[in-house]
Amino acid sequence: DTAVSQTPKYLVTQMGNDKSIKCEQNLGHDTMYWYKQDSKKFLKIMFSYNNKELIINETVPNRFSPKSPDKAHLNLHINSLELGDSAVYFCASSQGDYPPGELFFGEGSRLTVL
């Protein structure tokens, strides 16, 4: 049973399109995160949700919007995709946000914007 699963694993799309990446965790964790890994393999946090509340919102463009229908899911919706959005996006979860408990990562979703 996969602890943190995200779909799709690969996504190729045109500039200007809108796309979503879904994430689900079956660990019962109360905090979920989205991270972006750029071409230099540098990880940076984008958002986290704790009990359906956004508790971090890094300086990411407002074209990115996290949506959490329940505490097991945190989806990432991206509007008007740009070339610079091409990256690998990782979902993760942990128990507790202060400090963040042990992190469990999804396998990553590689987004390519053409």
Choosing from 28, 40, 59, 83, the residue that interacts with other proteins (CB under 8 A) is: 40
- Write down the residue that tokens 């949700």 correspond to: 49
Contact between residue 21 and residue 11 where contact means Cβ atoms under 8 Å apart: yes
Give yes or no for residue 58 binding other proteins (CB under 8 A).
Answer: yes
Q: Which two tokens stand for residue 93?
A: 């979860």
Give yes or no for residue 43 binding other proteins (CB under 8 A).
Answer: yes
Give yes or no for residue 48 binding other proteins (CB under 8 A).
Answer: yes
Choosing from 28, 42, 59, 70, the residue that interacts with other proteins (CB under 8 A) is: 42
Give yes or no for residue 60 binding other proteins (CB under 8 A).
Answer: no
Give yes or no for residue 105 binding other proteins (CB under 8 A).
Answer: yes
What distance in Å separates the CA atoms of residue 105 and residue 85, rounded to the nearest whole number? Answer: 20
Site for other proteins in 71-100 (CB under 8 A): 88, 90, 92, 97-100
- Residue 35 belongs to what H/E stretch? strand 31-37
The burial of 71, by beta-carbon neighbours within 10 Å (0-12 exposed, 13-18 middle, 19 or more buried), is given as middle
Please give the residue ranges that form the binding site for other proteins (CB under 8 A).
33, 40-45, 48, 50, 55-56, 58, 88, 90, 92, 97-105, 107-108, 110
